[in-house]
Amino acid sequence: MRILPKAVLSIACGTALLLHTSCTWRPAPRNAQVVSPRKENIRQLDHAAPIEERPAAREITAPSHLTAEEFDRFRKEIQRFYLAPYLWGGASPAGTDCSGLVRTIYRRAADINLPHSTQQLFQVGDAVKPRELKFADLLFFRFKRGSAPDHVGLYIANRFFLHASVSQGVVLSRLTDSPYAENFVGAKRIMDGKNGR
């Protein structure tokens, strides 16, 4: 089982998602700065201190909209998938694409069946504003021409999200970084409230 590093979850989730492991993690290299209205809109919502200045995480607590059991199941699924290779059409830690990752995590962690299609996933759930994102919300991006999104990820916290990158496999990236900020098209919430869906 691949374990999601303590440093990543300390940075990404503060007190919410700290995992006990001694692994180290380095974020994917940042590309050149991109200035666009969409990136600026997201950037102004990111009030977290730089990674180097963030305090150490404290006690483990579940996000307020999930039960402790739900959170623990999500945490275990995120661990199972972290650093899994990319495989188009896949939906397991042996290989997965972006929608397969989201579908399997939700099925195993919350017993919710979602489509294995980014475009179909964009049709479910409730729209969420960037400033209101919560753990396990779905984030959608459009990298190709057309109106429909073609990439999806799972929001963690502090602008970090989990997704299956074609070049890197399942990794954490930051919503405010390029190329995600300028290609972000919206977010959807599948779960809201204790035991609520």
Q: What are phi and psi of 95, to 5 degrees?
A: 165, 130
E strand residue ranges, 81-168: 91-92, 95-96, 126-128, 138-141, 151-157, 160-165
What is the C-alpha to C-alpha distance for residues 122 and 47, in angstroms, rounded to an integer? 27
Structure tokens at 83: 């650093």
Residue that has been written with the tokens 């700065």 in this structure: 33
Residue that has been written with the tokens 């990319």 in this structure: 86
Give kind and range of the element (H or E) at residue 99: helix 98-110
Of 13, 20, 98, 116, the active-site residue reads 98
23 has catalytic annotation: no
- Return the active site residues: 98, 151, 163
